[in-house]
């Protein structure tokens, strides 16, 4: 965890990781867990991201049927930090409940942090053959940021499924 002053110097933060977790879990934040990203999972994650993941263990927070993944992905040249909330439905399917941009460090493409864009991810699942279950409309001038968030959303769904095995 970084100090708020350091975070502010590194990019535009709309919400700290801790604030996001407290909002999602209504103040009762569970202890973080870690998922080892190796073998077939690492290979599949590499396919989604288009590069090897920059981590060996992915932290996540889970309480009941709600799991939060905080992921970083490069937009054009700098990382975008996103919180992805995944809920397990009664039918056992994992669906995205929400996507929130926690930190945006790029000079362009910042529109992805607004709900008019992130609300498109709600209720999406990961298709068996890969990809998200519905098309995400892009934003003119924010193509790389849009791609980064799509990768993060699909990665969170993959990691969520792997955390149960």
CB 56 within 8 A of CB 37: yes
Position 11 confidence tier, pLDDT thresholds 50, 70, 90: low
Model pLDDT, residue 108: 86
- What mean pLDDT is predicted for residues 48-76? 96
The token duo for 101 is: 């941009």
pLDDT value at 70 more than 50: yes
| Distance between CA atoms of residues 15 and 34, nearest Å | 22
High-pLDDT (> 90) share of the chain, %: 81
pLDDT value at 134 more than 80: yes
Contacts 24+ apart (CB under 8 A), 90-93: 93/125
Please list the alpha-helical segments (H only) found in 2-136: 4-10, 17-24, 39-49, 115-118
pLDDT value at 103 more than 60: yes
| Distance between CA atoms of residues 156 and 126, nearest Å | 9
pLDDT, mean over the chain: 91
- What mean pLDDT is predicted for residues 104-118? 90
Q: Coil, helix or strand for 124?
A: coil
Model pLDDT, residue 12: 65
């Amino acid at each position: 965890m970084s100090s708020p002053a350091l975070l502010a110097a590194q990019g535009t933060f709309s919400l700290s990781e801790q604030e996001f977790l407290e909002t999602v879990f209504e103040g009762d934040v569970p202890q973080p867990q870690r998922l080892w990203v190796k073998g077939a999972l690492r290979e599949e994650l590499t396919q989604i991201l288009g590069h090897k993941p920059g981590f060996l263990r992915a932290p996540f927070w889970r309480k009941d049927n709600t799991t939060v993944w905080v992921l970083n992905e490069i937009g054009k040249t700098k990382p975008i930090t996103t919180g992805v909330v995944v809920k397990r439905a009664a039918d056992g399917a994992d669906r995205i409940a929400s996507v929130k941009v926690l930190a945006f460090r790029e000079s362009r493409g910042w529109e992805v942090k607004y709900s008019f864009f992130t609300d498109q991810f709600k209720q999406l699942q990961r298709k068996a053959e890969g990809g998200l279950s519905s098309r995400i409309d892009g934003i003119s001038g924010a193509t790389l940021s849009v791609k980064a968030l799509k990768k993060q959303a699909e990665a969170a769904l993959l990691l969520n499924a792997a955390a149960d095995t």
